[in-house]
Amino acid sequence: MNSQKAIPCCFMRGGTSKGPFFLAPDLPDDIELRDKVLLAAMGSPDARQIDGIGGAHPLTSKVGIVSKSAAPGVDLEFLFAQLQPNGDKVDTTPNCGNMLAAVVPFALERALVKATGDTSTFRVLTLNTDMLCDITVQTPNGVIEYAGDTAIDGAPGTAAPVKINFLDTAGSVCSGLLPTGKVRDTICGIDVTCIDNGMPMVMIDARSMGITGYETAADLNQNASLKKSLEELRLAASVEMGLGDTKEKSYPKMCMISESQHGGTVNTRCFIPHVCHEAVGVLGAVTIATACVMPGSVCDGIARVGKGLSQNISVEHPSGEFTIEMTLDDSGNVTAASLLRTARLLMQGEVMVPRSLFQ
């Protein structure tokens, strides 16, 4: 018998991330075995992921697992798995809004759902965070269309838009939107806002960390003392946020903010959590946008926000900006967030893993 086992998958770009997408029944039910299979498929742990299909970066060490939903009113279920190139853990706790953008295209490719018109909208439940969203894709002639004129910073060229409308993001992993119960805390002597509107995040004025906030991602990745201070702060904040010991976790993310430079709302540099993002995560951006409209947060006085119950928040990042359409209620609470991404099927086939894993 062949010493390798073939597992069907589609390799997809979702926003500014990419990775293999699997149908849930194609992976083992047993979680320990499933994780071994995913680690082998991606080539982790190894900084270069040379023996697998991972891209040697956290943004390309991501996996999507999709199934049809039996829940009323829900079309699809998405389980996101974050691997680290050099780590041996598979984290299914947080969500990923970039990989989420590829869920419906993948489901159409694999005939889990059928197009309903020139555009098709499906309701997706993210199993990681028990969160619902509506995703609209372009389906002229009943077929998923990848070509289009939507540009997103952090991915080259243009493609067909994928609209994501998040319905309930507050407290995705934490107990609530403000998991410490306060809009601002002082942790390790630094003023922070601990917040989770889709992604647990610690927000900090960049100057508090001794940087301007306008450095390149590459420069920040080489700043060993910054990384050490950020990690100390992250681990201390995790406890305050009720997340416990997150040494081995991919959250909370650390976001350093400064005034926007290009007419946007705020400028950001995010660590996810040990590498500086070249852009910004999707739910990371929703969470940042939420802090921007929250009086008293560390963004207050730095972010340029308008007034009104519907606001476009432009989050600047190392490779451009990311606009989130926010809907607020009369009390100023964010009730919905929608945004555009793009996605593309890059390859389809089978990923090979050692058969010995199954013995």
The interface with ligand NQM within residues 242-281 (CB under 6 A) comprises 250, 253, 272, 277, 281
Note the Cα 237 to chain centre separation in Å: 20
Tokens encoding 75: 């079309």
Smallest distance from ligand NQM to CB 76, Å: 17
Smallest distance from ligand NQM to CB 48, Å: 20
Q: Return the residue nearest ligand NQM (CB atom).
A: 281
Q: Which of 7, 12, 13, 17 binds ligand NQM (CB under 6 A)?
A: 17
Residue with tokens 């965070």: 129
Note the Cα 99 to chain centre separation in Å: 7
SS3 at position 98: helix
Smallest distance from ligand NQM to CB 24, Å: 21
Beta bridge partners of 322: 315
Tokens encoding 318: 């190392």
Decide if 164 contacts 133 (C-beta within 8 A): yes
Contacts with ligand NQM by CB under 6 A: the residue count is: 17
Smallest distance from ligand NQM to CB 143, Å: 26
Q: What is the 3-state secondary structure (H, E, C) of 55-93?
A: CCCHHHCEEEEEEECCCCCCCEEEEEEEECCCCCCEECC
Q: From start to end of 212-309, where are the E strands?
A: 253-258, 266-271
Q: Which of 7, 9, 12, 16 binds ligand NQM (CB under 6 A)?
A: 16
SS3 at position 101: coil
Q: Does 284 bind ligand NQM (CB under 6 A)?
A: yes
Which is closer to ligand NQM, CB of 41 or CB of 282? 282
SS3 at position 107: helix
Q: Does 55 bind ligand NQM (CB under 6 A)?
A: no
| 326: nearest Cα among 342, 316, 313, 345 | 313
Which is closer to ligand NQM, CB of 61 or CB of 69? 61
Q: Which of 37, 39, 59, 206 binds ligand NQM (CB under 6 A)?
A: 59
Rounded to an integer, what distance in angstroms lies between the CA atom of residue 292 and that of residue 304?
8
Which is closer to ligand NQM, CB of 104 or CB of 283? 283
| 321: nearest Cα among 253, 283, 268 | 268
Q: Which of 177, 282, 288, 292 binds ligand NQM (CB under 6 A)?
A: 282
Count of C-beta atoms within a 10 Å radius of residue 315: 28
Question: Distance of CA 28 to CAs 45, 91, 94, 103, Å?
Answer: 20, 16, 21, 20
Which is closer to ligand NQM, CB of 196 or CB of 215? 196
The interface with ligand NQM within residues 111-170 (CB under 6 A) comprises none
Which is closer to ligand NQM, CB of 98 or CB of 138? 98
The interface with ligand NQM within residues 76-105 (CB under 6 A) comprises 95-98
Which is closer to ligand NQM, CB of 63 or CB of 115? 63
Smallest distance from ligand NQM to CB 169, Å: 10
Q: Does 197 bind ligand NQM (CB under 6 A)?
A: no
Binding site for ligand NQM (CB under 6 A): 16-17, 58-59, 95-98, 199, 250, 253, 272, 277, 281-284
